[in-house]
Amino acid sequence: MSAADHSRFEDDIGAYLLGALASGEQEAFERHLATCHVCQDEVERMRAAADALPRSVEQYDPPPALKAALMERVYAEAPPAAARERPRRSLAERLGIAGGLARLTPGMAVVATVLVLAVGLIAGYGASQLNDDGSGGATSGTRSVAAAVDAARVGQGMATLVVPDGGSGGAQLRVAAMPQPRAGRLYQVWLQRGDRVEPGPLFSVDRNGNGVGALPGDLDGVTAVLVTRERAGGAQQPTEAPVVRAKV
């Protein structure tokens, strides 16, 4: 692999982790990633930083319009004909912050890119931190429902649905020992109401497989809470059978 080949793809790492590459670009990057140890190391380094940043600050529900506005900027693409004539765009250019990053040192630019990635993740999470002991157990005033997991796909993963008494909102799906999805993907919560399945928030897991998906609103009419692995931008319909299922 030549230096030119590596340079062509190194600016796509952040966009790949955010799920912001077009399908053709993603396939090309993944072929490169399979043979480039430098990019493999960088993907793992940036993924670790993205996992750590959301847990380093107090977390709260963002305005619903925040994620929509962010992803609209991420997925904004030039028309196909123009795209063939223009050079590949970095993640900074996709998000409209290229001018600011151009004035940063390479190291600072990497950190800034990861911060942008973390904003996208936080906008999807709306999740609270785990208990200090990392167990994800229920606290007083709540009830816990053990969830079924697909051991064939998530191994020793465990999940618990924690519902506040009275069902007034604030329910959480807490997971432990869950494998991290492959690059560019996150776990997504789904709410099943009868025959209808509604998309919920995205969430990540740390190196130990611990994570929390905060359920929006109350569980009125919800018969089950499901989890699948989807692209970082989220999906409107599940693309696979659930890896976690909790009956309400």
Of 22-26, 141-145, 152-156, 188-192, minimum mean pLDDT range? 22-26
> What is the reported pLDDT for 3?
62
Per-domain residue ranges for the chain? Answer: 3-125, 142-247
pLDDT digits (tens, 9 = 90+) for 193-214: 999 999 999 999 998 899 999 8
SS (HEC) of the chain: CCHHHHHHHHCCHHHHHHCCCCHHHHHHHHHHHCCCHHHHHHHHHHHHHHHHHHHCCCCCCCCHHHHHHHHHHHCCCCCHHHHHHCCCCCHHHHHCCHHHHHCCCHHHHHHHHHHHHHHHHHHHHCCCCCCCCCCCCCCCCEEEEECEECHHHHCCCEEEEEEECCCCCCCEEEEECCCCCCCCEEEEEEEEECCEEEEEEEECCCCCCCEEEECCCCCCCCCEEEEEEEECCCCCCCCCCCCEEEEC
- pLDDT category at 129 given cuts 50, 70, 90 is very low
| 95 vs 244, more confident | 244
* Of 10-24, 96-110, 232-246, highest mean pLDDT: 232-246
| 82 vs 160, more confident | 160
Mean pLDDT value across residues 57-77: 58
- CATH code for the domain defined by 142-247: 2.60.40
> What is the reported pLDDT for 245?
96
- pLDDT category at 55 given cuts 50, 70, 90 is low
> What is the reported pLDDT for 51?
58
